Amino acid sequence: MIQRKQSLFLLIAALLNGCLLVTALYKWHETVNGVDMPHELRINDHYPSLIIAMVMILLPLVSIFMFRNRKRQLALSFVSIVSIGGFIAMMLSRVSALKQATPNVGGAYGIGAVLPIVSLLFLVLAIMGIRKDEKLVKSMDRLR
């Protein structure tokens, strides 16, 4: 049921979360013996992050096919938002631990750090659409 707005928003959120598997969360350069060594912090290197990322990918995809049960679709969308919040918290704690371990090394957040926030926005838009559908169905039931 991809023709509904909220289904498109859920699909976009799942695709954005899927992009986390190939993008870097944090990039930094370290100089070792006069040689500049680039490093990247990725979710593939940390299994708890990888598991949470898989949940973040699968929940919106499963939620798309729950279009007949809007309450369950709404609940899965909220659980997806909670998982994204947990992922962001884990990412920030990993970056802060990295900064404390190597204080003289400067770095920058990669595109992977922004993707969960954009995905969160699309999930909120999907929740608004699901609520709008629920309201429409209730108003139609009242007219019968």
Q: What are the pLDDT digits (tens) for 50-85?
A: 999 999 999 999 999 888 888 899 999 999 999 999
Position 78 in a domain: yes
d(CA 40, CA 43): 10
Give me the pLDDT at residue 8, please: 93
| Full domain range(s) for residue 34 | 5-139
The answer as to whether 112 is a domain residue is: yes
Residue 144 domain-assigned (yes or no): no
Nearest to 81 by CA among 108, 59, 103: 59
- Specify the pLDDT at position 47: 92
How many domains does the chain contain in total? 1
**How crowded is residue 106: how many other Cβ atoms within 10 Å of its Cβ?**
10
Q: Which of 2-6, 18-22, 100-104 has the lowest mean pLDDT?
A: 2-6
Domain CATH number, residue 28? 1.20.140
Exposure string of 36-47, with b = 16+ CB inside 10 Å and e = fewer, is eeeeebbbeebe
The pLDDT confidence band at residue 142, using thresholds 50, 70 and 90, is: low
**Tens of pLDDT, residues 17-48:** 999 999 999 998 887 787 778 888 899 888 99
